[in-house]
Each structure stands twice: as structure tokens, then as C-alpha cells.
């Protein structure tokens, strides 16, 4: 995909055919990374690639966790590296810096004194960097989505299994407080049998996506022009998948997806082009539809709805709805739980929080709120990752989750391009979902990692 004339093309027919072919792919599992506990690391030595939107915050939060050494940081732009290193002054961290070249990250990853690589770059780089790092004997943590194509999803799975290195997509919304509480409730049977779940990414990013000071080289705007589907499914999907034991007792079967037309992005580009010639090349592009709705059916007969809209003027929402035979929970527009025709009172909700707040939240929840990162869930995620690596414990999210949750994007693109026809969802676990144990949200005997506030 690339620039064609005055606009940007979508999937070619050959690419659509490849999505269909990859969706039917089956394979035998080489090594089961679900529940895998890598050898303990007394100290987790970390390198960061990408210091744009998300990178600096990740570095700052990591610097507060004991048992960590930030050994190296990398970005294409030298000034960004210098700025992050300056912020680490006064801490115990003095990382080496890498920049000035599109491939400076390889020199960093090749170092033998790194255990974990954080990948915080534009989406095109996620899989090449992750595969290279795992083959260099490093665990990897990748920003969302982990991959763009089904072929890339399979690459992550096969490399992680072959190298026995963790490949975790940093789906921070799995660590938000209400989501973790409802996961704990589901584990206890509060909702009964789970029937249906809903998740979304409804976030007005129109201004940011068209900002010259936003994403490097306007890369996220270009994603919205080249691809028509649910491009950012994982925030709403991840917590629902954990509640439904997807990859761990249930599995996605097939999906169908449709998008509205674009009523906003091209018009906005044309308005900007009238004032600034920089946007002239964007004014005639055929952008993705403003709202995408994707529906998934699971092997056990559950349904999932996922929505994506980053242009409409509406309040932020990830929906997070869990519906079962005994009750329902929903986070937006009002955080609530019901077991009948009315929502629980404030007092009843407080009782639920007292009973179902999981161990990890009790351990670091208040610290996470102080340190921050999307209200604390970013820090909770990073702390949990480090604690699991230091104690030799399985991660909450494995490579199969990274692949499956990311696969929604290309699968939805195929369905949108084929009048919302259904398409199979590949089983990245090779059938192991039937016996894999559910996510364990206890401290698992860990919880030993301390924090510097």
C-alpha cells in the first residue's frame, strides 16, 4: 500500500486474498507460550525503542521500579533521545543512547546486556523489531497493535515459540481498575455464564491525527487513509477476551465487520488545505469510514461487539460491557453493575469494590494512581510485567493474545471490503486453547518488586 496519484490506495485484491488465505491457516504448536514462566531475572535490564508519543512516559514509569536497569534508549530523532536522558538525571539510570539512523535500534538490540526490549514505534516497525529482538535472546513488549497483517501475527507466534521469549502486547486497558474488578467478578461467577461483551475505542483524535506536531511523519493519519476497518481494536477487546477466557477455554470462531462512510476526515483535510499547502496531498484521499462495528462469534457461542471511531465529536468511551446469565457490568457512560432492572447503588458498588478488587490493585493501585499513565493503568501494567519476569512467573498476556487481538484489524478490513461477509478467525494457539488455564490475576507468589515514589 502507498501513495497513488492524489490519494492513497486501500487493500489490493491480492492482499485481500492473502487475508482470506491466512485466516484459514492451521499449524501445530511448537511450544506452548501460554502459562510459560521464563527463568527468573534478579534485575531486568531494559532497552527502549521509540521516544515519541508513548516512549518518554514508559521510560519515566520504569525508572521508578526497583530491580530494573534502564540500559539503553533509542529514537530516530537525536533530540528526543537527549530529552529523555536528561529527565533521568538524578535517578540510578544512565542509559546509553542510540539515534540518527532508521536502523540504530539494531545496534542497541544486539547488546548482550539487555533482557527486555520495549517497542514504542509506528506500527510498521513493531513486528520487524520484535522478531529481531526475540532472535537476539530478548523478551519484547510491544505497543498496540502488535501487528498489522495476519502474516505478521503468525511471525510473532512462531518466533516466540521457537525462541521461548515472551512477546507481550502492552494492552494497558487490561489493567484499568474497573476492568480488573470485573475480571475478578467473572472468575468468581458473579455474572453467571458470560453471554456477550462489548468494547470500543471511541476517541476524537481528528485534531491530533492532522497535527504536524503529532505523530512522526503523519503516520497515524496515513493508517486511516490506507485501511478501512477496525484499526485499533485491542483497548476494548483485551479485557473482554480475558473475561471470556479467549485462548484459554474459548476461542474466536468468525467475525463480520462494516464501516460507515467517511463524513469528516476528507472534509477536514480540504479545509486545512485551503489555509496550508502542506495538506494539499491529503485533501483528495479516500479515508476509512468514521465508525466501524465488528461482531465476533466464539466457539462456545458467545458474542463480542467492538467499535472504532477516532473522528466523531463524542465523549471518550471504551464501553466495556460484560453481560451474563446473572448480571451485567458497564463502564461507560456510567460505571455500574446490575443483577436486575436497575443499577446498584453507590453503597452496593462500594461493597463490590471491597470484595472484588484484585490483589495486584491492592498491592500497587494507589501508587499507580500517583505515578500515573492513563490514570495508573500504564504503571500497573509495567510493574506487573517486571514483577513476573523477576519472579519467574507467567505473564497475563502472551504472544497468542498479541496475535489474536491484533488480527481483528486485517480481518475486519477484509469483511468491510466484502460487504460485511463473515471470515474465519485463525487459531494462533494451534488448538491449545481447549486446555490452556485462564489468566491468573493473583500475585502468583510474586508481588516482591518495590517502587520508588
- Note the pLDDT of residue 370: 97
Give the residue extent of every domain in the chain.
3-7+174-359+399-434
- Note the pLDDT of residue 10: 64
- Note the pLDDT of residue 133: 99
- Confidence label for 6 from pLDDT (cuts 50, 70 and 90): very low
Q: How far apart are CA 156 and CA 161, in angstroms?
A: 9
The reported pTM is 0.96
Instruction: Give the residue ranges of DSSP H helices in 110-218.
Output: 126-135, 150-163, 177-187, 206-209
> Each residue of 146-172: pLDDT tens digit?
999 999 999 999 999 999 999 999 999
DSSP label at 281?
G
The sheet carrying 68-75 orders its strands as: 96-99, 68-75, 44-49, 116-119, 139-142, 167-169
> Would you say residue 11 has pLDDT above 90?
no
Q: How far apart are CA 390 and CA 249, in angstroms?
A: 28
The strand pairing partners of 292, in sequence order, are: 259, 308
CATH topology of domain 3-7+174-359+399-434: Dihydrodipicolinate Reductase; domain 2 (3.30.360)
What share of the chain in percent tops pLDDT 70? 98
Rounded to an integer, the average pLDDT of 27-36 is 97
As given in the structure block, the three cell numbers for residue 285 are 484521499
> In sequence order, which residues have a C-beta less than 8 Å from that of residue 393 and are 6 or more positions away?
37, 387, 444, 445, 446
Contact 248, 437 (CB under 8 A): yes
Look at residues 151, 27, 124, 26 and name the one whose alpha carbon lies nearest to residue 403: 151
Q: How far apart are CA 220 and CA 209, in angstroms?
A: 6
More confident residue, 433 or 6: 433
Question: Which regions of 143-193 does DSSP assign to beta strands (E)?
Answer: 167-169
Q: How far apart are CA 227 and CA 416, in angstroms?
A: 10
Q: How far apart are CA 200 and CA 293, in angstroms?
A: 9
Q: Is 44 helix (H, G, I), strand (E, B) or coil?
A: strand
Distance between start and end Cα atoms, the chain:
46
> Would you say residue 242 has pLDDT above 90?
yes
- Note the pLDDT of residue 274: 97
Residue 173, φ and ψ in degrees, nearest 5: -70, -15
Average pLDDT, the chain: 96
> Each residue of 344-353: pLDDT tens digit?
999 999 999 9
- Note the pLDDT of residue 9: 38
What share of the chain in percent tops pLDDT 90? 96
Q: How far apart are CA 401 and CA 218, in angstroms?
A: 28
Q: How far apart are CA 451 and CA 453, in angstroms?
A: 6
As given in the structure block, the three cell numbers for residue 446 are 510474586
Q: How far apart are CA 207 and CA 335, in angstroms?
A: 28
> Would you say residue 304 has pLDDT above 80?
yes
DSSP label at 424?
E
Instruction: Give the residue ranges of DSSP H helices in 49-138.
Output: 55-62, 78-87, 104-109, 126-135
> Each residue of 80-138: pLDDT tens digit?
999 999 999 999 999 999 999 999 999 999 999 999 999 999 999 999 999 999 999 99
Half-sphere exposure of 25 (CA within 13 A, CB side): 18
Q: How far apart are CA 221 and CA 214, in angstroms?
A: 10
> Would you say residue 430 has pLDDT above 80?
yes
> Would you say residue 231 has pLDDT above 70?
yes
> Would you say residue 270 has pLDDT above 50?
yes
Amino acid at each position: 500500500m502507498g501513495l497513488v496519484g492524489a490519494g492513497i490506495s486501500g487493500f489490493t485484491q491480492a492482499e485481500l486474498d492473502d487475508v482470506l488465505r491466512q485466516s484459514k491457516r492451521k499449524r501445530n504448536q511448537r511450544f506452548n507460550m501460554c502459562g510459560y514462566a521464563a527463568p527468573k531475572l534478579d534485575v531486568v535490564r531494559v532497552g527502549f525503542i521509540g521516544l515519541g508519543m508513548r516512549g518518554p512516559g514508559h521510560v519515566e514509569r520504569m525508572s521508578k521500579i526497583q530491580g530494573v536497569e534502564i540500559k539503553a534508549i533509542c529514537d530516530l530523532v537525536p533530540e528526543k533521545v537527549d530529552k529523555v536522558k536528561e529527565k533521568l538525571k538524578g535517578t540510578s539510570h544512565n542509559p546509553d543512547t542510540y539515534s540518527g539512523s532508521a536502523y540504530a535500534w539494531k545496534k542497541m538490540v544486539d547488546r548482550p546486556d539487555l533482557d527486555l526490549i520495549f517497542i514504542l514505534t509506528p506500527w510498521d516497525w513493531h513486528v520487524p523489531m520484535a522478531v529481531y529482538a526475540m532472535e537476539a535472546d530478548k523478551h519484547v513488549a510491544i505497543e498496540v497493535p502488535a501487528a498489522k497483517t495476519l502474516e505478521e501475527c503468525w511471525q510473532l507466534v512462531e518466533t516466540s515459540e521457537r525462541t521461548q521469549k515472551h512477546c507481550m502486547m502492552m494492552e494497558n486497558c487490561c489493567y484499568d481498575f474497573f476492568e480488573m474488578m470485573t475480571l475478578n467478578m467473572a472468575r468468581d461467577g458473579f455474572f453467571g455464564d458470560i453471554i456477550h461483551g462489548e468494547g470500543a475505542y471511541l476517541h476524537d483524535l481528528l485534531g491530533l491525527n492532522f497535527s504536524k506536531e503529532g505523530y512522526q511523519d503523519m503516520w497515524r493519519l496515513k493508517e486511516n487513509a490506507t485501511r478501512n476497518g477496525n484499526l485499533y481494536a485491542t483497548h476494548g477487546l483485551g479485557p473482554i477476551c480475558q473475561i471470556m477466557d479467549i485462548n484459554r477455554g474459548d476461542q474466536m470462531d468468525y467475525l463480520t465487520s462494516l464501516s460507515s462512510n467517511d463524513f469528516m476526515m476528507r472534509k477536514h483535510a480540504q479545509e486545512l488545505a485551503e489555509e496550508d499547502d502542506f495538506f494539499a496531498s491529503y485533501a483528495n484521499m479516500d479515508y476509512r469510514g468514521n465508525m466501524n462495528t465488528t461482531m465476533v462469534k466464539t466457539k462456545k457461542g458467545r458474542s463480542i461487539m467492538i467499535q472504532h471511531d477516532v473522528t466523531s465529536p463524542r465523549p471518550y468511551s471504551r464501553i466495556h460491557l460484560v453481560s451474563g446469565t446473572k448480571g451485567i457490568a458497564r463502564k461507560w457512560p456510567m460505571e455500574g453493575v446490575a443483577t436486575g432492572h436497575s443499577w446498584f447503588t453507590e453503597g452496593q458498588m462500594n461493597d463490590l469494590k471491597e470484595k472484588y478488587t484484585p490483589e495486584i490493585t491492592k498491592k500497587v493501585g494507589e501508587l499507580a494512581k500517583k505515578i500515573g499513565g492513563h490514570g495508573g493503568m500504564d504503571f500497573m501494567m509495567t510493574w506487573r510485567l517486571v514483577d513476573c519476569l523477576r519472579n519467574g512467573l507467567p505473564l497475563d498476556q502472551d504472544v497468542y493474545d498479541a496475535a489474536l487481538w491484533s488480527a481483528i484489524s486485517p480481518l475486519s478490513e477484509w469483511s468491510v471490503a466484502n460487504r460485511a461477509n463473515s471470515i474465519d478467525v485463525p487459531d494462533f494457539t494451534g488448538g491449545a486453547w481447549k486446555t490452556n488455564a485462564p489468566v491468573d490475576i493473583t500475585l502468583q507468589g510474586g508481588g516482591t518488586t518495590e517502587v520508588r515514589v
